[in-house]
Amino acid sequence: MIGKHSGAHAIHHKFEELGIDLVEEDCEKILTEIRKIVVETKVSPSDDELIKMAERLRRE
């Protein structure tokens, strides 16, 4: 489960499981977004939400 206490290594590993390769800088950006979402909603993001985050990041 990915949540507000997860680190960049856990994020990188989770995205590898999803077939998405992220560089460390991308992991940090997504981690910041995940922490914000979890604090606001008290729910960890789903795999689909994680994939959408990565897609948005790649469009930037």
Mean per-residue pLDDT pooled into runs of 10, the chain (60 residues): 85 94 91 92 94 91
Question: Which residues fall within 8 angstroms of residue 42, CB to CB, at 6 or more apart?
Answer: none
Q: What b/e readout covers 20-38, taking b as 16+ CB neighbours within 10 angstroms?
A: bebeeebbebbbebbeebb
Q: Give the per-residue pLDDT at 4.
A: 78
Short-list 33, 57, 21, 59, CA closest to 2: 33
Query: Quick one: pLDDT at residue 2?
Result: 85
